[in-house]
Amino acid sequence: MRFFNTLTREIEEFVPLDPKGKQVSLYTCGPTVYNFAHIGNFRAYVFEDILHRHLEFRGFRVRRVMNLTDVEDKTIRGCRQAGVSLSDFTKPFKEAFFQDLERLRMKKADVYPAATDPEQIARMIEMISILIKKGHAYLAEDQSVYFRLSTFPAYGKLAHFRLDELRPSGRVKSDEYEKENVGDFALWKAWDEEDGLIFWDSPWGKGRPGWHIECSAMSLGLLGPQIDIHCGGEDNIFPHHEAEIAQSECVTGLPFVKLWMHCRHLLVDGRKMSKSEGNFFTLRDLMDKGWTGREIRYALSKIRYREQLNFTIDGLVAARNALERLDEWSRRIHAAAIGAADPKSHSQLDTAAFGAALDEDLNTSAALGVLFDVIRDSNRLLDQNQLSPENSASLCGWLKEVNSVLCLGPDHEDVPQKVSELLTQRERARAQKQWAQSDALRDQILALGWMVKDTKEGQQLNKINRESK
């Protein structure tokens, strides 16, 4: 497997830190829960989901962490405006986030630590204390603690700039004269009136952690001092991930992350989709308009994570059409596979190219290309009555593999064992013209929640009362 590493700007062979080559640690920056996540955010999460699943498909054991940023300027502003506590303010957005993940068929991370979890705050305070002790951080007059950038000359290695090129940006707040150097960033923000009741006690007085330290502390605490892969959207590269490297490496003295992977922004009309631009769609917006989670997942995974993806309604229409083709094909091969002998020994079509495309820096466009080539070729064989039940069964098995990574399949490919046994019996009964037996078997299948229809291609199976796709 080879992936593009933002740190080296090269495509590198993937070798995990684990000497046995099995375990992979993956840290993925999560949402700021002050609003519903937009589908630009979900482009990042879908890319990470496919990465996670593909690593597992290739036999790695993945341990993954995704943080929830539930305290920073926007969440504080939001809860004060709403006149509720911080946790009451963020709770519905956290719940909505998990609901959205499910709708987009995402695999769960192992842990979703929240920045306000007491053990996370304790870890952050501990890390900041170590940084102060080592001279990498200092307490400023305003009682905030800042990272001393001059002690970490490697700052800039991820975003590829030199420290002396760092200039004050528009984001610099008016009170930043407290800092020794303009690039120094806050590890701990001293309480001020705007924070209201939101603060934690620390050795430096009451205050709250900075955003960057959150991810360093969680990664270190939950995945260890060094990890294999850290992901996010491209806007995370600087300053967030650059700061994470500085904090983590100054605490541990070890390289923090082996492979940095960033997805390009989702665009709308050529501009980054973002809350501040006001040009965003949430998953809910699109689902209210009748689009399904599966269609949106398709539209977001159609283009490889590192390439530009412009979001359009036409893209969703194309997704709908492609998925209809996939469903139709899935129905055909499942019907054609009934009564197959040993599916494993048969493979008429080249399906290995699918995994190979994902091995090559997660090329989802090429992988989908392989899928639709196989669909076209096997449909042609089916039209000519030249696809044997064994070959069809082997394609059904392959589709399962494809779906274990892309998760775009219809609901019905997971036909329960009992149902497929009954289908096979029914196929035999029909071949022997035992119509009464065939009807009885159809009723048994119906009782299990599946409807069989007889078509010229054989039995067609549909789940009854399918949930909305």
Binding site for ligand AMP (CB under 6 A): 29, 31-32, 40-41, 43-44, 232-233, 235-236, 263, 265-266, 272-274
CB of residue 27 to Zn ion, shortest distance in Å: 8
CB of residue 41 to Zn ion, shortest distance in Å: 13
CB of residue 101 to Zn ion, shortest distance in Å: 17
How many Å apart are CA 46 and CA 362, to the nearest integer? Answer: 12
Q: Can the peptide bond before residue 255 be classed as cis, meaning omega within 30 degrees of 0?
A: no
- Pairing type for strands 227-233 and 257-263 reads parallel
Which positions ≥6 away from 411 have C-beta within 8 Å? Answer: 463, 466, 467, 469
- Region near Zn ion per CB under 5 A, out of 128-136, 172-180, 208-216, 456-464: 208-216
Distances (CA, A) of 389 to 79, 254, 396: 60, 55, 10
How many Å apart are CA 286 and CA 103, to the nearest integer? Answer: 12
Complex with ligand AMP: residue 272 or 428, whichever CB lies closer: 272
Residue of 68, 40, 11 lying closest to 263 (CA atoms)? 40
* Contacted entry of ligand AMP, Zn ion, none for residue 265, CB cut-off 5 to 8 Å set by kind: ligand AMP
How many Å apart are CA 216 and CA 356, to the nearest integer? Answer: 33
How many Å apart are CA 99 and CA 145, to the nearest integer? Answer: 37
How many Å apart are CA 144 and CA 209, to the nearest integer? Answer: 10
Each residue 167-206 as x (binds Zn ion by CB under 5 A) or -, in order, gives ----------------------------------------
Edge-to-edge strand list for the sheet holding 266-268: 271-272, 266-268, 309-310
* Contacted entry of ligand AMP, Zn ion, none for residue 215, CB cut-off 5 to 8 Å set by kind: Zn ion
CB of residue 466 to ligand AMP, shortest distance in Å: 31
Each residue 73-112 as x (binds Zn ion by CB under 5 A) or -, in order, gives ----------------------------------------
Complex with Zn ion: residue 119 or 414, whichever CB lies closer: 119
Tokens matching residue 139: 């307490």
Sole binder of Zn ion in the list 109, 215, 303, 367 (CB under 5 A): 215
Q: Is 29 in the site for Zn ion (CB under 5 A)?
A: yes
* Contacted entry of ligand AMP, Zn ion, none for residue 263, CB cut-off 5 to 8 Å set by kind: ligand AMP
CB of residue 40 to ligand AMP, shortest distance in Å: 3
Q: Where on the chain is the footprint of Zn ion (CB under 5 A)? A: 29, 215
